[in-house]
Each structure stands twice: as structure tokens, then as C-alpha cells.
Structure 1
């Protein structure tokens, strides 16, 4: 006689864990410790403490960080690579691969297999177009000018005016935010904007005091100091 074990009435369901997201954290309201009353207060337009009414001008100036050193400034390799970045990394890398394959096929096609010349030309042409679209010449010139400002630029106090997040950083070579800022040169207000690949910059808020460096011969060419990383 066969006996059957009773079935378990409690079914076990396995649920998938939620997918990991790389969203930047929400920015927090900037606060400053008042040197008079030691309270952390928000930074207002009048630069005065909401608790005791003391002036926050000196504390705001100190919050900019150390003044940029005199030019010429030495930049690390990582800092230079953070500025010189292609617009579309995938296109640029794929174009480099096509160019390398075309360069390897060219001696073989010229010396032994002439029918490969057409395929070699296609590889070289596609590689050139992909690299050019992934890193346009105008963007490369702009980045080189910004790098020149970091090395030879004059320092100026600046204020952040906008923090624009990128929805898909992977499509912009890892750029997470676009930082806008303004500074004054000989009484004239100059606007600047630089991309940043750092998630921590997404926590910044407009109104934050920073340092900018600009070229004396062309103040429209500027960058934020210190460079990252």
C-alpha cells in the first residue's frame, strides 16, 4: 500500500531584487556655520546669519577653498584626461578599432591581395568617420583651450549659476553634470560652463562660491579650479 506525503500548502515565491540604479543623489541645501553663533544656517542673498544677523562674507570667501596657484600650473595625467574626453566614447573607440584593422590590412592588400584594397578603404573610411563623430574637431579645440586656461589662466572668484544633470551619462563619455558659473573681469560679467564626470558635483547648488581661471587674452575661455580628479 502506497502512502503519499501531504503537499505543502505554502508556496515559496522568489522575487527578483530591484535593479541597481546609478542616479545621482538629490542636491542638498547649502549651509554655512556662522562664526559668531556657530549655527549651521542656509546661505541667503544678503550673506547674513538668520540666527544672529552676523555677516557671513568672510566665511563665504573662505568656503571657496584655497586660491589657485600662480601660472604655469602643473596638471597630472588624470587631470588632463578628465578634460580631453571624446563626446561619444563608444563611437570613438569603435572608429579606432576600424582604423587599426584597416592599417593592418593595407600592407597585405598592396603586396599580395589587391582585391582587399576596397575592403581596406572601407575600414579606414568608416573608422575615420566614427572617430570624427565621436570627438568633433571643434570640441577638441575647446577642450585644449580649457586645458590652457587651467595651466596659464588668471584666478577669479566665481559663483555657480546652474547644475544641469545628464539623463544618460554613458552617452556623453561619463559626464554627469554641466556646471554653469559667472565671474567678473574688469567690471564685465563673464559666463562659463564646464562638464563634470563626478557624481558628487550633482550635489552642488547654484550660489555656491568657487574659483575660476581664465585666459587674460580671452576671458571667455575659462574653467573651474581645482580640476578633477
Structure 2
């Protein structure tokens, strides 16, 4: 029996399923038919998808959070002890290291969460359009453990203007789509450059 992995939660489902049996999210449809239309905004995302984008699939956010917590902890310990005891080196070195850790962690966390929310917002608030896949290829600009993800380029029209988008997946994209296939695209009305395939590729 063939299976398809849910792009929302990672659960395996029968290949002919339309919705995930775990989270209820719509599953990608293979071929040129884009499948059922997305519901109108605002949309309720499948259970756990936000956490998956912001934390599980974003190690930079977790590292940023750890650095920020360590930095704030060092600052809270060394700064008061240094002030009370009058040990200036403890205050300067311990407090300084705490500040550096907190700034690095805060920067990583801010950037990661902002990028994650940019991925999520089209799914929650985006207008729907029918687009077309223009290209599928191995993205050699990214490599993890000797592997390159698949990149899927697509185009769609918003307010009479043509826009392009790109989605990445570690799954074998040609199993689902080929150039010329029609797909659902969600985009923000105020900024169509923020767009996403619906459902996501995973």
C-alpha cells in the first residue's frame, strides 16, 4: 500500500486520502488537478502546525532561546553578586558574558520567529489563487548531511500582476507534481510576495 506524509503534522496516510487522519489537514493532490479550494480566511490551521514551523523545524529558534535563557541567567546571577560584593571583575566579566549571550540568543530568536510567522501568515490570512508550477529541481544552494532539498517554483496572478513563488521539500517532489500542474496558492493581499502553496509540500 502506498502512503503520503501529511505536510502539516508528519503523519503517514494512505496515498488516496484527502485529509490527514491525525490532524485533519488537507493533503496534497498529485497531478494537474489542484484539488479542493482552500477555505476562506481567516483559516484555522491544523493542530500543531504553528509549533512545528516555529520550533520543531527551526533549530535556530531553539538555539536562540537557549542562548537567551543562559544569557539572562548569567546576568541575573553575576550582576547582583558583583554589585553586592563589590567585585568589579565578576560584575564586568560575568555580566558582560550574560549580555552577549542574551543579545545573540535574542537576535536568533527574533529572526527565526519573524521568518516562521512569514510562512504561517499566508495560510491563515491569504487570498486564494490558482497558480501553475513552472519548475522542479534539486536546490544545490542548500545541503544537509550531503542531501539537497527539492525546490518547486510556481507562478500566480494577483490583481492583474504575475508573481512567482518557491517552495522547498525534502520529499521527492516529482512524485506529486510536474511543470504545468495547477496548484492552489495563498498570498497576502497587501504583499503578494508573501505566498505559499496550499496545502504545503511538507
TM-score, normalization by structure 2: 0.62
Flag the 1:96–1:76 CA change in 2: closer, same or farther, 3 A. Answer: same
1:112 matched residue in structure 2: 81
Flag the 1:124–1:110 CA change in 2: closer, same or farther, 3 A. Answer: closer
**Backbone CA RMSD of aligned residues:** 3.5
> Residue 100 of structure 2 is aligned with which of 111, 115, 125?
125
1:147 matched residue in structure 2: 120
State which structure, 1 or 2, has the greater radius of gyration over its C-alpha atoms: 1
> Residue 178 of structure 2 is aligned with which of 193, 202, 205?
205
Q: Distance in 1 between matches of 2:118 and 2:35?
A: 24
Partner-residue secondary structure (3-state), 1:221: strand
Q: Quick check: 1:99 aligned with 2:65?
A: no
Asked if 2 retains the 8 angstrom alpha-carbon contact of 1:159 and 1:207, the reply is: yes
Q: Say which structure is richer in strand.
A: 2
1:71 matched residue in structure 2: 41
Deviation sequence 1:46-68 (CA, Å, 0-9, x none): xxxxxxxxxxxxxx76x211111
Q: Distance in 2 between matches of 1:127 and 1:178?
A: 35
Partner-residue secondary structure (3-state), 1:227: coil
Q: Distance in 2 between matches of 1:202 and 1:122?
A: 49
Residues 2-81 of structure 1 correspond to what in structure 2 (within 5 A)? Answer: 63-81=33-51
Flag the 1:211–1:187 CA change in 2: closer, same or farther, 3 A. Answer: same
Give the unaligned 5+ runs of structure 1: 1-59
Asked if 2 retains the 8 angstrom alpha-carbon contact of 1:176 and 1:199, the reply is: yes
What is the aligned residue count?
A: 163
Partner-residue secondary structure (3-state), 1:74: coil
Superposed displacement of residue 80, structure 1: 2.0
Deviation sequence 1:102-133 (CA, Å, 0-9, x none): 2222232133244333133224314533563x
Deviation sequence 1:131-168 (CA, Å, 0-9, x none): 63x5673x754542442221121211111122343455
Partner-residue secondary structure (3-state), 1:213: strand
Partner-residue secondary structure (3-state), 2:178: coil
Superposed displacement of residue 87, structure 1: 9.4
Give the unaligned 5+ runs of structure 2: 1-30
Flag the 1:121–1:193 CA change in 2: closer, same or farther, 3 A. Answer: same
